[in-house]
């Protein structure tokens, strides 16, 4: 039995797979603020899913940056007690198996590229706009290697003494702070969505120039029905793109809230 885990700031999702092609019904629970409680929940749930079978490996996605050895995490702002912990080591000790750690955006993007909206394309970029902003490049079903991961939301879109980055312009928290309500409460017809579509296009334009993908998958809560219209992002991209003769295919994500679980499955399938 293989186990895949998606640790979110709000919920932990856990599922199993015997064949590395299908998932068991996900187990979803509020993410404990205490790290020890979270590790115990992951271990207990994994054993319950395995039902006495041996656990061959565990893939874990976390909302934080990874240490250089990819065994621990840091800068986990929403789960402070988890910050600095060596979660891969602790899961291995708890379950006597191999554990592999990945950033949550990287893991979701991997899932979309292999099992979701990017399936069939050789070079896929997954971009998420939610509370924060980030992206990942997946080539031939594998996340492109990096030293520190990717942080495309921090790309600057202006210059000067106080440059503004993409996250400052389009992230969900930015919209909430500006209007004093959650983005979805603004309604579909609010003019902010056209503004954000244009900003998103400029950030995605840079990403396309750097990574030259065949297909771009856009995901995260800010691309929901009440959110940034993908067709308007595409329109603005067509207007500003000068370097390449055509745009990559731009599509909406398809795996919903369990993209991270599918991404863990993709990682385990790759490792064999």
Give me the pLDDT at residue 137, please.
Answer: 98
Q: CA 23, CA 142: separation in Å to the nearest integer?
A: 20
For the chain, which domains are there? 2-104 (3.30.420.40), 117-254 (3.30.420.40)
pTM here? Answer: 0.95
d(CA 10, CA 7): 8
Instruction: List the helix and strand counts (H, then E) for the chain.
Output: 8, 12
What is the rounded CA–CA span in Å between residue 212 and residue 244? 9
Residue 216 contacts residue 204 (beta carbons within 8 Å): yes
* Res 77 pLDDT > 90: no
Question: Per-residue pLDDT tens for 27-64?
Answer: 999 999 999 999 999 999 999 999 999 999 999 999 99
Place of tokens 């621990």: 72
Question: Which of 271, 269, 266 is closest to 115 using CA atoms?
Answer: 266
Q: Which residue has the tokens 């554990």?
A: 99
Cα–Cα distances (Å) from 86 to 69, 81, 97, in that order, read 10, 12, 15
- pLDDT tens-digit readout, 168-193: 999 999 999 999 999 999 999 999 99
The per-residue pLDDT for 42 is: 98
Residue 248 carries which DSSP code?
P
The whole-number pLDDT of residue 76 equals 86
At 160, the pLDDT band (50, 70, 90 cuts) reads: confident
Rounded CA gap, 72 and 248, in Å? 35
């Amino acid at each position: 039995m293989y186990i895949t885990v998606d640790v979110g700031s709000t919920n932990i999702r856990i599922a199993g797979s015997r064949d590395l092609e299908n998932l068991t019904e996900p187990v979803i629970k509020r993410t404990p603020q205490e790290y020890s409680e979270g590790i115990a929940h992951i271990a207990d749930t994994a054993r319950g899913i395995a039902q006495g079978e041996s656990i061959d490996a565990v893939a874990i996605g976390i909302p934080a940056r990874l240490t250089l050895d990819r065994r621990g995490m840091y800068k986990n702002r929403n789960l402070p007690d988890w910050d600095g912990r060596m979660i891969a080591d602790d899961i291995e000790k708890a379950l006597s198996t191999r554990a592999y750690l990945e950033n949550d955006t990287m893991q979701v993007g991997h899932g979309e590229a292999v099992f979701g909206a990017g399936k069939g394309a050789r070079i896929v970029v997954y971009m998420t706009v939610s509370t924060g902003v980030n992206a990942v490049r997946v080539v031939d079903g594998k996340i492109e290697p990096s030293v520190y991961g990717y942080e495309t939301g921090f790309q600057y879109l202006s210059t000067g003494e106080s440059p503004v980055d993409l996250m400052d312009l389009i992230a969900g928290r930015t919209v909430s702070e500006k209007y004093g309500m959650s983005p979805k409460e603004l309604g579909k017809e609010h003019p902010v969505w056209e503004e954000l579509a244009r900003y998103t296009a400029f950030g995605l334009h840079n990403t396309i120039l750097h990574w030259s993908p065949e297909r771009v998958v856009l995901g995260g809560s800010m691309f929901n029905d009440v959110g940034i219209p993908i067709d308007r992002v595409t329109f603005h991209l067509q207007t500003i793109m000068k370097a390449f003769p055509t745009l990559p295919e731009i599509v909406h994500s398809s795996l919903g809230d369990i993209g991270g679980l599918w991404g863990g499955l993709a990682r385990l399938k790759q490792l064999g």
